[in-house]
Amino acid sequence: MTESDRSSFGSRFGVIVAMVGSAVGLGNIWRFPYMVGENGGAAFILIYLAFSFLISLPVFCAEFVIGRRGRSNAVGAFRKLAPGSKWYLGGFLSIIAVFLILSFYSVVGGWGIKYLVDSVALKFSAGAAGTDFGASFAAFSTGKVAPLVYMLIFVLVTAAVVVLGVQKGIERFSKWMMPLLFVLILVLVVRSAFLPGAGAGYSYLFRPDFSKITSETLIAALGQSFFSMSLGMGAIIIYGSYVKRSDNILNHSLITVSLDTVFALLAACAIMPAVFSFGVQPNQGPGLVFVTLPYIFTNMPLGSLVAVFFFISLLLAAVSSAISLVEVMVSFLIEECRCSRKLAVGISIATQAIFGTLCSLSLMPDSPLKVGGLTLFDLFDKISSDYVLTIGALLIVLFVGWKIKKANFMDEMTSGGTIRIPKWIALVIFWIIKVVAPLAILTILIFS
Ligand code: TRP
């Protein structure tokens, strides 16, 4: 495929919207708050922030460079940039990551649809105050049929967007949801701030207790950062491959990483004060946000209306992230296995539905779908971020640092010398990619 055959983003703004669309999703609004709650609060957040800018940002640039130079999916890009070597095998790791992530992601996306339906049915209006939302979430999410139906709807919606193709689908779609979601989260942050007992939530979020840090905390923070920024499995390789040569990689990377971080922090500021105010357990895991949000909605003016718009925009964010995952699998099937786009999407729907079903059913009480005491849902959620993405990111930085070489890296970062970025910044990023990031990731992997 020549460069001109390859579909590309229509505008620079479109690129940024699509990248931010991929990054901002359930990872920020569902996963980040519950990881903060499971890992003891402020200390986790500080480590997360440090990792995001010191490690994830360089990894983002590295993935971007591979994609734009390789102009291909993860496997193809490695093959093109290192012909005759075994590096391309690393690309297959990305397919494993897609399987694992899409299966639980679709289940949680389904939960979002169910909560949207409930909002429309006015189940979170002021009259519903007093409902035990923890119990109702547990009853729903451990059910046998309803979560599967909602999961399937999520899968089909995502697939429909992917079938429309790169520009029409991804770009147009993502343009409108970001600002709306941002504003709604701000509204929730403000509402949460005035709840009785909110102060306990803030000290949990901002007063670090470093005695709570273990090697588990480190890998959880690193994995969460990669997950939230869509790193470690070739999603940014694919998006990078659609980007024009004249675009500024550092600029796009910095914007995406920063906005993603802002969304995650705001989500935590919306949720945690309410968690403490309503006596929800912060460390209860994946249900945290779904249990807490209804309490906020039922206790605010126009709560039902805010809930409806919140879940619509959350779902749009989730779909714009899921399409980047599906796109990894689809472009692999199209370019490496010569499938048609429709067939590729069909295969992706089928695997998503099957593994999503297994994940969802594993949450049922007495489900046999458990490994070592963990449900399949928790297992996939944990190993995908903590291990598959971190190993993927390790391969990516090693590849750029040691195989692509500095001159080529600098050439990409400056678009062949046409973009002026301070040279020392590009050099610092390169040395982080080559030495610091691999050592840090390896150390954290080994100690966990
Ligand atoms: N970053 C997305 C989120 O926060 C999830 C996601 C989309 C992702 N594409 C990815 C995670 C690629 C890892 C790799 O919801």
Q: What is the pLDDT of residues 134-154, one digit of tens each?
A: 999 999 999 999 999 999 999
Q: Which 3 state secondary structure label does DSSP give 413?
A: helix
DSSP conformation class of 128: G
**Ligand 1 and 356: CB distance under 6 A:** no
| Ligand 1 atom closest to the CA of 27, numbered from 1 | 4
pLDDT, one tens digit per residue, over 49-90 is: 999 999 999 999 999 999 999 988 888 899 899 988 888 888
Model-level pTM? 0.94
Is residue 222 predicted with pLDDT exceeding 90?
Answer: yes
Pocket of ligand 1 contains residue 106 by CB under 6 Å: no
- By most ligand atoms within 8 Å of CB, the mutation choice from 230, 316, 384, 395 for ligand 1 is 230
Q: What is the spatial distance between Cα 202 and Cα 269, in angstroms, rounded to a whole number? A: 8
Residue nearest to atom 14 of ligand 1 (CA): 230
Centroid of ligand 1 to alpha carbon of 388 (angstroms): 13
- The class level of CATH for 12-447 reads mainly alpha
Cβ of residue 324 lying under 6 Å from some atom of ligand 1:
yes
CA-nearest residue for atom 10, ligand 1, is 230
Residue among 392, 395, 389, 357 at smallest CA distance from 376: 357
Q: Are 362 and 151 in contact (CB under 8 A)?
A: no
Give, to the nearest 10 degrees, the angle between helix 406-413 and helix 57-70. 90
| Nearest atom in ligand 1 to 26's CA | 15
Q: Express each pLDDT in 152-189 by its tens digit.
A: 999 999 998 888 765 555 566 667 778 888 999 999 99
321 CA → ligand 1 middle, Å: 6
CB of residue 235 inside a 6 A radius of ligand 1: yes
Q: Is 413 in the pocket of ligand 1 (CB under 6 A)?
A: no
| DSSP reduced 3-state for 72 | coil
